[in-house]
Amino acid sequence: MVQFANVVVYSYQYLLDPKVAAIISKEMQKESVVVFDEAHNIDNVCIEALSVSVRRQTVDGARRNINRMRQEIDKYVPFLAFSYCFVI
């Protein structure tokens, strides 16, 4: 109903958070006027909306998986180099 409304009132977090904005704010008209109340908090809201938290356990697991992939690729590198030279 956002596209049909004359006035829409909701928290500006919904306009700034990319995940929420993709759903709600995309329906707003391009000619809309946006008024931010309590805008002194806007920098914190932007930082929070665009920040990602990753646990150390996740990073360690990713590192182990990358090392395994590197080992598997290294097994085939001599074959790939040979077949590349053979095609030329």
54-81 pLDDT tens trace: 999 999 999 999 999 999 888 877 766 5
Domain co-membership, 25 together with 62: no
Q: How many domains does the chain have?
A: 2
Domain co-membership, 2 together with 22: yes
Domain co-membership, 30 together with 62: no
List the domain range (segments joined by +) for residue 32: 1-51
Domain co-membership, 66 together with 35: no
Domain co-membership, 47 together with 59: no
Task: Give CA–CA dist 40/35, Å, rounded.
Answer: 13
Domain co-membership, 15 together with 26: yes
Tell me: pLDDT of 52 over 70.
yes
pTM of the predicted protein model: 0.40
pLDDT digits (tens, 9 = 90+) for 15-28: 777 777 777 777 77
